[in-house]
Amino acid sequence: MRLLLDTHMLLWALNDDPKLTLQARKALRDAQDRIVSAVSIWEISIKRSIGKLRIEGDPMRYARAAGCAPLSVTWSHGDIAGALPPHHADPFDRLLIAQAQSEGLTILTADRAFRQYDVDLI
Task: Output the DSSP codes for the chain.
Answer: -EEEEPHHHHHHHHTT-TTS-HHHHHHHHH-SEEEEEHHHHHHHHHHHHTTS----S-HHHHHHHTTEEEE---HHHHHHHHHS-TT---HHHHHHHHHHHHHT-EEE---GGGGGSSSEE-
Residue 88: which pLDDT band, with cuts at 50, 70 and 90?
Answer: confident
Parse the chain into domains and list their residue ranges.
2-121
CATH class for the domain made up of 2-121: alpha beta
Encode pLDDT of 11-67 as tens digits.
999 889 999 999 999 999 999 999 999 999 999 999 999 999 888 878 888 889 889
Note the pTM of the prediction, 2 decimals: 0.92
